[in-house]
Amino acid sequence: MANLKEIRNRISSVSSTMQITSAMKMVSAAKLKKAQDAITAMRPYADKLTELLQSLSASLDADSGSTFADNRPVNKVLVVAITSNRGLCGAFNTNIIKQCAILTDEIHAGKQVDFVAIGKKGNDILGKKSTVLANHSQVFDELTFENVAAIAEELMELFKDGSYDKIELVYNKFKNAATQIVLTEQFLPIVPLDSTESSNADYIFEPSKMEIVEQLIPKSLKTQLYKAVRDSFASEHGARMTAMHKATDNATELRDQLKLTYNQARQAAITNEILEIVGGAEALNE
């Protein structure tokens, strides 16, 4: 059994850790509320905009000649991996890296797969074994539509000039504080709706279909990427809050066990001292 000083030091260390994890949990909970409200508010708009674009995509080639709907043979794939800049959020980043490995080794096996990292953790890990064209981790310092739109424009240009035949987003979709769903979402080329779904859409275009589509495509793609980053941002705080909650509970349990061990060791030491005193007194009496 460890001596009393060692146990006291461990209790002190665990208590300090518990205070840190508890504070991080409260900070993430406060940030989560704001991030959750933001993604919940923009989802209906983003989904409807994407639906409108997809309903038009069946006639994009004929009417607008848009290269963003060009389904060419896929030889080069660009994956946008959205992770976090900081750790201590459970399996949040690990799940994204695993999905990227599946895309590279299984789904797109035999093809050139490069990455664009949004988040420092993804850049650090993917950069060791894959080609990372750019790291946009600074976007989380000031998460605005304008900053994300600049990244979307770079991606659109890479697809437009033929550098890549397909661009996919990999990110955590926010469901609730305890649940994040890893999604692989096609960014380019534009995914059309099924013919059965698109046939139900009846739109009147003014001034013209071509002009509307030319403005709608960039805006829709920028909104799609912004929604993915917002989803990931909310998921990160939810994952961190859950991870820190579990860490605090584990630290509390460990501290209680150490206190029990400390009390047992202290009682054993006191008992031994009493026995020694009694034994010494009996020896003097004899």
Query: Which amino acids are annotated catalytic?
Result: 89
Contact 137, 123 (CB under 8 A): yes
3-state class (DSSP) for residue 84: coil
3-state class (DSSP) for residue 17: helix
Q: What is the CA radius of gyration of the chain?
A: 28
Kindly write down the DSSP assignment for every residue of 107-172, as one continuous string: ITTTSEEEEEEESHHHHHHHTTTS-EEEE-GGGGGS--HHHHHHHHHHHHHHHHTTS-SEEEEEEE
What's the DSSP call for residue 68? G
- Looking at residue 240, its amino acid is R
Strand 166-176 and strand 132-135: pairing?
A: unpaired
Contact 2, 253 (CB under 8 A): no
- Looking at residue 170, its amino acid is V
